[in-house]
Structure 1
Amino acid sequence: MRIPVIDFHCDVLSKMRENVGISFLDDPKLDVTYDRMRQGEVQLQCFAIYLSERWGIPRYEYILDQIDAFKSRVMTTAEGMRWLRWKEDAAELEQAIQGSVQALKSARQLPWGLLSVEGADGFEGSLFYVKMCYELGVRFLGITWNYANWAADGVLEKRNGGFTEKGRKLIQLSNEIGLLLDVSHLSQAGFWELTERTVRPFIASHSNAKSICPHPRNLTDEQIRAIIAMDGRIGMTFVPWFVREGGEGPVRPEELLPHIEHFCTLGGENNLMIGSDFDGIDSWIQGLEHPGRYPEFAELLCKHYSEELVRKWFSGNALSYLNSHLPEKGAC
């Protein structure tokens, strides 16, 4: 079954920064490639800008390197891709999705890319750098990776602190300019502080349900309910150890079903989307190793849920969020 897909998280760009010889077209070193996006009907891929700990002290130039890789090596691939930044872009994408999945295969309808930053570390504490990245087309910001930075504590920071004073100014700036925030790596204390300070609903781009798999990066029921209450979004992720505790042995796509069912039981059928974390993992769900496997995953889900629901989770819920919260053109 071929259903259009929006994926809210992959780590292609950090791999491309580390290896300038990687081709986005079809390089086997990547999970997400242009060819596999086409194969899996991925109409929009969100590319995260991640600064690896291997690179030493985080620097702003590492963010700019990856924006450049996105513009010069991803957007120019094969027939090309389109850069989604505005409400009118999302509206055009929605028309293609609602029209026909075959539109993606047409030379007239190219897939789209979207930029996020995973962890504010590389902004070096500068709100000016944050604003500049927004003006360069970044639309989502994951405030932390797993540990503390200048803005807040990450989910693995033992002290479980919230936001710093400068981090609170980051929230205020993001609210003002329309930079959308992502809590997938944020501490519990930071999560709850953000619910009080944000004026825009946030997302958890790549997290599953902690009640099903008790990994620190997964969301508690209380967090899930809070995201649902604000009409935010949660990206179901394919990290094996976020699906089954330990993630040892072959993890299969069927093991995502309890997470989906749990989100729905809590009222989240209109809030669930996909955040694969492809290229950010070194082991994979058997049968979901890359975007080309989405049609098989859709067939599996349609054995348990209506096609209407599966379409929501694959693209509809993400689209409605983008249509509501992306800026109008020229708003930068």
Structure 2
Amino acid sequence: MIIDAHCDVLYQLWKNPEWSFEHSPELRINLERWLENDVKVQCFAIFVPDDVPADLQFHAALQMVDIFYDQVLKSHPNVKMVRSRQDIELLKENEKGAMLTLEGCHPIGHDIIKLKTLIHLGVKAVGLTWNNSNGVCDGIGEERGAGLSQFGREVIELFNTYEILTDVSHLSYQGFWDVMETAKYPIASHSNSYKLCSHKRNLDDKQLKALISKQAFVGVTFVPEFLTGHKNADTKDVMNHIEKIYRLGGENSVGLGSDFDGTAGFVKGLENYSKYNAFVQELKTRFSTEFVQKLTHQNFLNNLPT
């Protein structure tokens, strides 16, 4: 079983309405590839680009929710929506699970009801920012580097109440520590080791150890620039970041968050969904079977409330 904590298929389908989730080859994740691999659960992010006018961002988010329901969930009778560990554990052998997430709180502005609406529609994990700032917190691309706002603290309180995973990927450094102090369910859906690759989107050893101390999920991502610092990367680079987090004590934290369909670059040997099974076999040549099980799915499951 494989659980992938992040992809941007919904954004691609929103941006390219002529594409189809079922079979469009332009998508790195599509239904045809999904049915042929061992990915049991895929997390689908709502990502509204920052060039959408502020008054239209929530509408764009709702459009992506509609795409999730109409194209992903209705694409095949065996694709089921999942929101909890129990939902995943109850999936039958021939069923796949789709989880809805939000990447960046900018579409909600300062309106907690908009956020609650997305939660009621099924969002289970929320990244507080993309790289920019918003009403909740600053992102890693904002030079000011501020942490949680007062509204942001209300948002975290809501997540704690509704058992929503609080995703620290893309957050400012101060925002990260604010979340670690206040969130009951922190994760990093798609971030790598800053020690191995000094990209601002990656997490330093202190941050990784803080997540590990809570056995919080850390999804290693397949973005070449986050793996090597340039456009070229291969599967060994992915495994190096996995091993780095493992050696920091992250055996029960590290997992996978591909970011398929979210970037232009790709990892050699992990160009799209069709390569996932071969990659898992490669993992087994470097790591123990027990750890590969934790890495591919168990660590994510353990972070989900029942």
Answer yes or no: same fold by TM over 0.5.
yes
Amino acid at match of 1:89: D
Provide, for residues 137-174 of structure 1, a one-character-per-residue CA deviation record: whole Å limited to 9, x for no partner. 11111000001101100011111110111111111111
Q: Corresponding residue for 1:201?
A: 185
Match of 1:186 in 2: 171
Is 1:113 equivalent to 2:98 in the alignment?
Answer: yes
Give the secondary-structure state (helix, strand or coil) at the position aligned to 1:63.
helix
How far, CA to CA, are the matches of 1:67 and 1:155 in structure 2?
Answer: 26
Match of 2:57 in 1: 59
Task: Pick 1 or 2: higher relative contact order, CA cutoff 8 A, min separation 6.
Answer: 1
Shift of 1:55: 2.5
Give me the whole-angstrom Cα distance separating, in 1, the residues matched to 2:14 and 2:51: 12
Who is 1:329 aligned against? none
Partner of 2:239: 257
Does the aligned pair in 2 maintain the 1:204–1:235 contact within 8 Å?
yes
User: What secondary structure, in the 3-state scheme, does the structure 1 residue paired with 2:60 have?
Assistant: helix
Structure 1: gaps spanning 5 or more residues: 97-102, 104-108, 327-332
Deviations 1:14-67 (A, max 9, x none): 111112221111111211111111222111000000001243335211111111
For residue 89 of structure 1, what is the aligned residue in structure 2?
A: 87
Partner in structure 2 of residue 135 of structure 1: 120
Q: Map Cα deviations across residues 55-99 of structure 1 (whole Å, 9 max, x no partner).
A: 333521111111110001111113441000234312214xx5xxx
Residues 307-327 of structure 1, C-alpha deviations (whole Å, 9 max, x = no match): 2211211111112222xx25x
Residue correspondence of structure 1 range 1-332 to structure 2 within 5 A? 4-57=1-54, 59-93=57-91, 103=93, 109-198=94-183, 200-245=184-229, 247-248=230-231, 250-322=232-304, 325-326=305-306
What are structure 2's unaligned runs of at least 5 residues?
none
- TM-score by length of structure 2 reads 0.96
Q: TM-score, normalised by structure 1?
A: 0.89
How many residues align structurally? 305
RMSD between superposed Cα atoms in Å: 1.3
Q: Over residues 256-279 of structure 1, what are the superposed CA-to-partner deviations in whole Å (9 max), with x where a residue is unaligned? A: 222112111110011011100000
Counterpart code for 1:210: Y
Q: Secondary structure at the match of 1:303?
A: helix
- Secondary structure at 1:264's aligned position in 2? helix
Counterparts of 1:152 and 1:53 in 2: how far apart (Å)?
Answer: 15
Q: What letter is aligned with 1:277? A: D
Query: Any idea what the Cα deviations from partners look like across 1:90-145, whole Å, max 9, x if unmatched?
Result: 2214xx5xxxxxx3xxxxx2211000000000012110111111111111110000
* Aligned-partner Cα distance in 1 for 2:199–2:84: 35
Moved over 6 A (4+): none
Check the 8 A contact 2:163/2:185 in 1, yes or no.
no
Provide the rounded CA distance (Å) in 2 between the counterparts of 1:256 and 1:270: 18
Residue type matched to 1:230 in 2? K
Determine helix, strand or coil for the equivalent of 1:156: coil
Q: Distance in 2 between matches of 1:299 and 1:180?
A: 29
SS of the residue corresponding to residue 25 of structure 2 reads coil
